[in-house]
Structure 1
Amino acid sequence: MTSRTHSVPATRIGLISDTHNLVRPEALQYLAGCDAIIHAGDICNQAVLDALARIAPLTAVRGNNDIAGPVAALPTHVKLTVQQVTILVVHDIADVGDDPRGEGIGVVVTGHSHKPAISERDGVLFINPGSAGPRRFKLPISAGMLVIEGAHASARFDLLVT
């Protein structure tokens, strides 16, 4: 008799932030096929969320520019658990507590700076997908992908426009 290990398929979560009213076709194409999408704030218009929600289940937080209409009612922090990983979503990294690992957080997703970045500190994966909205200064237009397999999380960001 052969024993089989049934592994849980990977969950692909598209990461986007700082769209500032702009839904780029490149962003929609990048996020197509994701199991879920996280928007880390500065949405500015409900139509952005509606477009993303047509692709996959959506989690979004309010950014400092989300001050009017339905986006103003979004929470500033969201925690969600995917497989065995707890994710904290907050717009500004300055609003993350001192010890996210102590709170059981494995991944922190932020926006605000418009600068894509991935780092690991004290066993916590920090991801900023950058900005998928209007170009700011010479910063790239980007989005990210978070892949969760059981208790393991990995991430990348990709340029949407060169």
Structure 2
Amino acid sequence: MKFVIAGDSHGYTRRLEQLEEICADGWIFTGDLTDDPARISGWTAVAGNNDEYFGIKLPPMAIVDADNHKILVIHGHQFPAGTRHGQLAALAGKFGCDIVVYGHTHVPVIAEENGILILNPGSVYRSRDGKGTSYMTLDTAGPRPKAEIIRKKFQS
């Protein structure tokens, strides 16, 4: 299965709608929508810290079945930066997931911790690594999932 993964749009929902034009089996959103969730009804979406602040109703986490893989989706603000990957990997393992997708940092990541693939798509709103806005694709076909960070200059 092929997924488009994005996060931290902070009200720039039109950018997510642009990503829906990409042929995929599913779309995953890592939180901080700060907009009406009905606008991304086809996405598996979780709440970010800003969504909670503005009263946007999304679940705190979700699990997606993908081929022979399970993906844990969470915003990530629940864990401190210094231990975030270890705690995310432990949580994913607890739910039998071999992939965890998170947001919050606005910095894209492809990493591995204790056998768990850890992914962060960065932000479609504002990058915090100085390299521009980004999203990610994930292909779960085969024994080893393949993720790619894609930098994109979005139309407002």
TM-score (norm 1): 0.77
Residue 102 of structure 1 and its aligned partner are, at CA, apart by 4.6
* Structure 2 Cα separation of the partners of residues 86 and 44 of structure 1: 27
Match of 2:138 in 1: 146
CA offset digits 1:39-72 (Å, max 9, x no partner): 000000016x51x44xxx3100000000335xx2
Alignment of 1:22-41 (within 5 A): 22-25=12-15, 28-29=18-19, 32-41=22-31
Matched, 1:100 2:92: yes
Residue 12 of structure 1 and its aligned partner are, at CA, apart by 0.8
Q: Match of 1:120, as an amino acid? A: E
Matched, 1:46 2:31: no
2:54 alignment partner, one of 68, 77, 84? 68
Q: Is the 8 A contact 2:13 2:33 kept in 1?
A: no
Residue 103 of structure 1 and its aligned partner are, at CA, apart by 3.2
Residues 148-157 or 72-81, more deviating: 148-157
* Structure 1 Cα separation of the partners of residues 26 and 100 of structure 2: 16
Q: 1:119 to 1:27 in 2, by over 3 A?
A: farther
Residue 120 of structure 1 and its aligned partner are, at CA, apart by 1.1
Decide which structure has the larger Cα Rg and report it: 1
Which runs of 5 or more residues in structure 1 are unaligned?
1-10
% same residue: 28
* Structure 2 Cα separation of the partners of residues 60 and 41 of structure 1: 7
Match of 2:72 in 1: 88
Q: Is the 8 A contact 1:101 1:122 kept in 2?
A: no
Match of 2:83 in 1: none
TM-score (norm 2): 0.80
Residue aligned with 2:18, SS: helix
Aligned residues: 145
Q: Match of 1:17, as an amino acid? A: G
CA offset digits 1:101-140 (Å, max 9, x no partner): 3531111000000001100112111000000014557352
Residue 23 of structure 1 and its aligned partner are, at CA, apart by 3.1
Which runs of 5 or more residues in structure 2 are unaligned?
80-86
Residues 18-27 or 142-151, more deviating: 18-27
